[in-house]
Structure 1
């Protein structure tokens, strides 16, 4: 077995057992204790957090670390990682506290020149994009950690009705249309509500939540089963689009070659009244083609405005 292969195997072994002696490694891999000690020194110099244990029995301990042994990737696997990570460039905040370009540079550095050229050429034919939102999600990582630890948190939240204090139990985070969201159990109302991470103004962990609570994946699955999506189609001009702030569509991706652009998207059926409320101030800058339920909501809101002036 080559030295590099044996070194990686030892790295994977100590990552698993955490506490070990040189003799245990020697027995496991059928090598001498002197060789083991040289390899442990090599791993330490590579950044693996191995510490010697003082005392009668001695040995070594590896800290809980997130440094992984080298992994071999094919060109397709490397491309999938690089292009997927590129999506994070569209977010000012991400939950990993990393610089995306550094991750890409590390992957590129391991490739031979001919594969770098092939990967760069592939990039000319692939685009993975999300709307760019210029908002800072300051507490994104903290909310993720609170979700995983099942913590009760206290936040100040910038809602439509003003800044409010809330006690919540978050169950995860997810991104959609350039924003980060987190569903959380609202302890005041004893139900799960949805919140935008960038609207959290302050954050504090209060205590542990002891009851059973669904994680994000189960919650989303239940929502998919309970909420039907409806197709929305409407015409909108550029001036109205500038006024329309929506979580479902980013108008900057449209070329506006005509006076009106046709927009098609899917929203939860229960969101129709809310979407109608968004469209009402746009006046004749927008015309809904479908569904009829949305048209009816707009007519009802227009009649309310007319009755105000009668």
Structure 2
């Protein structure tokens, strides 16, 4: 990072904290103690009203909040923002229903002529070949806002077999394999569940208290809330390196990878009612997995393959 960019970010950092130490700067900006001291001197020369307090609990203090310079983006940041936006266009739904054409026009209006020329050139050299979303999800914004505002929602959830009413506390939403999913706590089942967003046909705020404290829960550790029921069946499969790669592309909270004796294994649980899900999922791995336990799961997979052969 250039020194000018770092000082700009540092001004915003100390304006927000009001009190900071050299260690704070060293950790936040990954710089040496000597560089941190030089940067503080540069900030003072720029007019930052700082004073130092010595002693064991000392540090730097900002006398008053500052008027900060306008936010500016580097070329790399401009291109990263633009192509992040472009990558979302393949989704039929997004959390906030917006026109990408309108955003695109506004974005190109504010960048410099040189940046606009480079973006137009990059468009001819960059393509996004990921699974396109084919199903509309009408309530992504409501689900996301409920997760942010810690609210409980009453939803109608429609599957090929039935429509049920559920009360859920949304935790986060994510996109995978062409679908949007909502990680939630199901207040009826008293358990963590994942819902396909396009199957949610109505949403309303429920007058119920949330059951999960979301302060320390984000999309990366939300799976830790999931717990198998007492009827869940445990399974274990050996898995090859190519299978591990496939698992990382699509996996679920009820399963994980483990290492034993320098070999990799796919382990987890499935509910008896989820046989129609677990068999096609394991079959998608082809020869990259081999079922170890339970034997019944291996027999059901054989039946699945034979059924496919009979349809050829």
Between the aligned partners of 1:226 and 1:210, the Cα distance in structure 2 is 16
Taking structure 1 as the reference length, the TM-score comes to: 0.55
Greater Cα offset, 200-209 or 120-129: 120-129
- The residue aligned with 2:287 is 289
Kindly name which structure, 1 or 2, has the bigger radius of gyration based on alpha carbons: 1
Matched residues, number? 209
Q: 1:180 and 1:265, CA in 2 relative to 1: closer, same or farther beyond 3 A?
A: closer
- The residue aligned with 1:200 is 200
Between the aligned partners of 2:84 and 2:269, the Cα distance in structure 1 is 30
- The residue aligned with 1:214 is 214
Between the aligned partners of 1:73 and 1:151, the Cα distance in structure 2 is 35
Q: Give how far 1:154 is off.
A: 1.1
- The residue aligned with 2:59 is none
Q: Give how far 1:198 is off.
A: 0.6
Q: Give how far 1:165 is off.
A: 0.9
CA contact 2:155–2:165 (8 Å) conserved in 1: yes
- The residue aligned with 1:98 is 98
Q: Give how far 1:132 is off.
A: 1.0
Greater Cα offset, 264-273 or 189-198: 264-273
> How is 1:1-310 mapped onto 2 (pairs within 5 angstroms)?
71-214=71-214, 217-218=217-218, 220-221=220-221, 223=223, 266-267=250-251, 268=255, 269-270=267-268, 276-278=278-280, 288-293=286-291, 297=297, 299-303=299-303
Q: Give how far 1:97 is off.
A: 2.3
The 3-state SS of whatever aligns with 2:152 is: strand
Between the aligned partners of 2:130 and 2:140, the Cα distance in structure 1 is 18
CA contact 1:150–1:208 (8 Å) conserved in 2: no
- What CA RMSD, in Å, does the superposition of the two structures yield over aligned residues? 4.1
Between the aligned partners of 2:242 and 2:219, the Cα distance in structure 1 is 28
Q: 1:184 and 1:232, CA in 2 relative to 1: closer, same or farther beyond 3 A?
A: farther
Q: 1:110 and 1:271, CA in 2 relative to 1: closer, same or farther beyond 3 A?
A: farther
Greater Cα offset, 78-87 or 222-231: 222-231
Runs (5+) with no aligned partner, structure 1? 1-15, 17-68, 235-247, 250-262
- Runs ≥4 residues deviating over 4 A: 224-234, 263-266, 271-276, 303-306
CA contact 1:184–1:193 (8 Å) conserved in 2: yes
Q: Give how far 1:139 is off.
A: 0.9
